Amino acid sequence: MENKKVYTFGNGKAEGNSEMKNLLGGKGANLAEMNLIGVPVPPGFTITTEVCTDYYTYGQEKVKEMLTKDVNAAIHNIEKLTGTKFNDAENPLLLSVRSGARASMPGMMDTILNLGLNDEIVEGLSKKTNNPKFAWDSYRRFIQMYGDVVMEMKPINKEDHDPFEEILDQVKEEKGIKLDSEFTVEDLKDIVGRFKKIVRERTGKDFPTDGYDQLWGGIFAVFGSWMNERAILYRQMEKIPDSWGTAVNIQAMVFGNMGSNSATGVCFSRNAATGENLFNGEYLVDAQGEDVVAGIRTPQEITLEGSRRWAKLAGVSEKDRAAKFPSLEEVMPIVYKELDDIQFKLEDHYRDMQDMEFTIQNGKLWILQTRNGKRTGAAMVKIAMDLLEEGKIDEKAALKRVDPIKLDELLHPVFDNNSLKTAKVIAKGLPASPGAATGQVVFFPDDAEKWHNDGKKIVLVRQETSPEDLAGMAVAEGILTVRGGMTSHAAVVARGMGKCCVSGVGEIKVNYKNRSFEVDGKTYKEGDFISLNGTNGEVYDGKVETKVAEMDNDFTLLMDLAEKYTRLYVRTNADTPRDAAIARKFGAKGIGLCRTEHMFFEGNKIKAMREMILAENSEDRKKALAKILPYQKEDFKGIFTAMAGLPVTVRLLDPPLHEFVPHDEKGQKEMADQLGVSVEKIKQRVDALQEFNPMLGHRGCRLGNTYQEITEMQTRAILSAAVELKKEGVEVFPEIMVPLVGISHEFEMQEKIIRDTAEKVFHEEGMRVDYKVGTMIEIPRATLTAHKIAKTAEFFSFGTNDLTQLTFGYSRDDIGSFLPTYLRKKILKVDPFMTIDQNGVGQLVRLGVQNGRMEKPDLKCGICGEHGGDPESVKFFHRVGLNYVSCSPFRVPIARLAAAQAAIEDK
């Protein structure tokens, strides 16, 4: 409570500077800095973010007591600099009160303008400016804003009207006018009277007349708005801690609504949507800030070029444009020139694209705010690469400027922003796989294929998905599942396919029988259109326009730069040649995880697989497996060829066998007919395979160690494919990976089967290939005994999906039932299946690496769980010394950038 709480600025001097964002908030720090570099800013002061914390700890009275002396002194400083007086009718000073947190939270908190007016002061202002209409218009705006923000006159719900807007409408109707600007002074006086009356009626209090009372009300309202619902939600989305608090910025008002020589606007030093290096923005003559965003009047473009481009798009002729919507460049050329110089100066100073607010009062330009502008993923990449080329930033800074997650926008279809504005959200789930999808609802994978073949775009809606649904998923624009988390089958597969997926949408009730789902009382039938936003988890009613993302030269430049700085390299999780090829295009250095199970579902493979499952003994199993062998071999040839010259880690069969058999009667009947056995027999086998928690049961190396024929067949398929390709001159580096090892002996048994089979294959083929045998580390016990496993294992790949499941004891597929509550109650900060839990699961990874390298100092260690594509997790894996991460193809560029950033941050 002892620290300095109020920092003043004005007239080229400031107590703060841009380094002090934590204390002064982004806006306050930049207001100070602008003063220091000679940019015209209305004088004022900033109350620090620490006071916000005090406000929530000690309450209003105490904070007022602590601050009064400093605030009064700071007000006197403004009075001195402006030659005006606060709370004075002769020569009034009016104030603006604005929030400003460390990280920008646009529009989330409250602002009050024109503070300091009452019935006498408005007359004083009117006389001083000789502009009664301006004075009374400012007064009615002040009551309206202060009433809404401080006195809580805002509409209570959607049906409730804003009482102030209602009065404005009434007066307009009585006077037969349409626009606010048509009000006369008498109208405005009448409105002010009515406003004050409704405040009294609604709140039981009179509108405060003392300037200092108004000021404290405003300061506390801004602190209070830190905890309003939308600010809390925004912080959750942007991962901004609640503890940061907001600063309050109080400044002398400058007025853009003093007539035709005044204006207000917003501008950007580059284009925030495309990144194009072109100054742009909008303004309105004779207006205050909120008019530009309110949408009542059409804002005009700042530059002539922007204005001409706008006119072309809007279908406005050049003559009409120049007459009705001229640019600021044309209307106020001298002020425009000054603004243009300032935007250059600010961008040069901050070395980043600036988003600025300005006001012109009677021909004098004032800058009210500057900040690094928010931008799309495409703009982010282009601006970083352009600034690098212009010599404004160096390579490391350019790499750090791009948020890896934002690269998603460049790789997937995205929604058209205008269409999104009017889209109706009907439900929300987990953003399982990014991108945008619009299509007709279907519920069954075979229907998905049929509809797709008929040329329709479809969204597959499932309770959950299983490997059987793969073909249907592959043709869908997007996938929605009611159950399942970020590592559910649907999520993992969709990410692999680069397909949009929203999972765990619990609000939706699916009725497969009626081919419909219900949400919020509305029923959607098969064929109805819905849209999915895989980037934020929203589900929309009907069609929302999408556009295709494009990769360009700047993206390539960025990736080349990432390559230059990275230590951790990136592989991909890929099960098909197509996915492997995509990942390679994105710069993957091999395959870190090829899940072989996905290969068993196509065509005849599933039939042979089911024969193997039905087999009563080893001989019969071998026979069935012999049928699968040639298919597996072909699959591996395809993948090895796509990754020629690079290592490919193939994992032996992992999932429990029940995933390969049908659970419904229809499916079982089909299987019985296909294999020529009774339905009874199928049912019996399916029942026997049933497990309570299949993820803890007969899977992973437990399969290969109980049915060693499976490991033999898969090894044979992998290595004979490798030998054949070697004979054709293709370079192959197979790595055979054993899943779910918890005991070193489990690995040793598998390794022996693999090595024996390899020798047989090499002997038969008359040629050897280099290959490695390693293991997944995904069971906590394996991390603790890693030194023993490393005696024989040639590499480790951490399976952080299972490791997270087993460390937390959370079932991977059922976390959706309690995760939202856990996040809301802050028991968990983030979904641990999405971002690695550094303090728990992450420590096991660290230990596993240390233990393994104790035995083999240069043991190659990677990670192939879903965390391999999450930037924060990638940085952690860099720090614990992994050699590589492996992630789904569309995440490869994200992981590459995050890895490069980790290397830079390391130094």
Residues that bind ligand PEP (CB under 6 A): 593, 595, 654, 778, 799-802, 864-865
Residues ≥6 apart with Cβ < 8 Å to 13: 35, 36
CB of residue 701 vs Mg ion: minimum separation in angstroms? 11
CB of residue 464 vs Mg ion: minimum separation in angstroms? 18
Question: Site for Mg ion (CB under 5 A): which residue of 16, 218, 472, 799?
Answer: 799
CB of residue 783 vs ligand PEP: minimum separation in angstroms? 13
Q: Residue 449 corresponds to which tokens in the numbers above?
A: 């294929």
CA-CA distance, 316 to 325, in Å (whole number)? 9
470: Cα separation from own chain's centroid:
26
Among positions 80-119, residues that touch Mg ion (CB under 5 A) are: none
Q: Are 798 and 845 spatial neighbours (Cβ–Cβ below 8 Å)?
A: yes
By beta-carbon proximity to ligand PEP, the closer residue of 654 and 735 is: 654
Asked if 265 interacts with Mg ion (CB under 5 A), we say no
Q: 347 contacts which partner out of ligand PEP, Mg ion, none, CB within 5 to 8 A by kind?
A: none
DSSP 364-389: EEEEEEEEEPP--HHHHHHHHHHHHH
Q: 595 contacts which partner out of Mg ion, ligand PEP, none, CB within 5 to 8 A by kind?
A: ligand PEP
Total residues interacting with Mg ion, rule: CB under 5 A: 3
Amino acid at 616: E
CB of residue 778 vs ligand PEP: minimum separation in angstroms? 5
Catalytic residue among 267, 594, 701, 864: 864
Q: Which residue has the tokens 């294959």?
A: 761
Among positions 777-796, residues that touch Mg ion (CB under 5 A) are: 778
Asked if 802 interacts with Mg ion (CB under 5 A), we say yes
CB of residue 666 vs ligand PEP: minimum separation in angstroms? 28
Q: 648 contacts which partner out of Mg ion, ligand PEP, none, CB within 5 to 8 A by kind?
A: none
Biggest alpha carbon distance in the chain?
104
Q: 864 contacts which partner out of ligand PEP, Mg ion, none, CB within 5 to 8 A by kind?
A: ligand PEP
Residues ≥6 apart with Cβ < 8 Å to 180: 137, 168, 296
CA-CA distance, 687 to 674, in Å (whole number)? 19
Provide the annotated binding site. Answer: 595, 651, 778, 799-802
By beta-carbon proximity to Mg ion, the closer residue of 534 and 799 is: 799
CB of residue 597 vs ligand PEP: minimum separation in angstroms? 8
User: Three-class SS of residue 85?
Assistant: strand
Q: 865 contacts which partner out of Mg ion, ligand PEP, none, CB within 5 to 8 A by kind?
A: ligand PEP
CA-CA distance, 866 to 689, in Å (whole number)? 28
Active site residue 745: no
Of how many residues is the chain composed? Answer: 907
By beta-carbon proximity to ligand PEP, the closer residue of 347 and 778 is: 778
By beta-carbon proximity to ligand PEP, the closer residue of 56 and 601 is: 601
Label the pairing between strands 772-777 and 529-533.
unpaired
- Please write down the HEC assignment for all residues of 385-429: HHHHHCCCCCHHHHHHHCCHHHHHHHHCCEECHHHHHCCCEEEEC
In 739-893 the beta strands, taken as DSSP E runs, fall at 772-777, 795-798, 860-863, 884-887
By beta-carbon proximity to Mg ion, the closer residue of 376 and 649 is: 649
Q: 368 contacts which partner out of ligand PEP, Mg ion, none, CB within 5 to 8 A by kind?
A: none
User: Three-class SS of residue 281?
Assistant: strand
Q: Are 570 and 593 spatial neighbours (Cβ–Cβ below 8 Å)?
A: no
By beta-carbon proximity to Mg ion, the closer residue of 291 and 735 is: 735
Provide the annotated binding site for substrate. Answer: 595, 651, 778, 799-802
Catalytic residue among 412, 452, 489, 658: 489
Label the pairing between strands 300-301 and 354-361.
unpaired
For residue 125, give the nearest of 78, 115, 150 by alpha carbon: 115
Q: 439 contacts which partner out of ligand PEP, Mg ion, none, CB within 5 to 8 A by kind?
A: none
Provide the annotated binding site for Mg(2+). Answer: 778, 802
Q: How many Cβ atoms sit within 10 Å of the Cβ of residue 606?
A: 19
CB of residue 861 vs Mg ion: minimum separation in angstroms? 16
Stretch that binds Mg ion, among 231-239, 467-475, 705-713, 774-782 (CB under 5 A): 774-782
By beta-carbon proximity to Mg ion, the closer residue of 505 and 777 is: 777
By beta-carbon proximity to ligand PEP, the closer residue of 373 and 799 is: 799
Q: How many Cβ atoms sit within 10 Å of the Cβ of residue 56?
A: 15
Active site residue 501: no
Asked if 148 interacts with Mg ion (CB under 5 A), we say no
For residue 736, give the nearest of 760, 712, 708, 767 by alpha carbon: 712
Q: 594 contacts which partner out of ligand PEP, Mg ion, none, CB within 5 to 8 A by kind?
A: none
CA-CA distance, 473 to 448, in Å (whole number)? 8
CB of residue 800 vs ligand PEP: minimum separation in angstroms? 5
DSSP 548-609: -----HHHHHHHHHHHHH-SSEEEEE-SSHHHHHHHHHTT--SEEEEEGGGGGGSTTHHHHH
Task: List the catalytic residues.
Answer: 489, 864
**Contact residues for Mg ion, defined by CB under 5 A:** 778, 799, 802
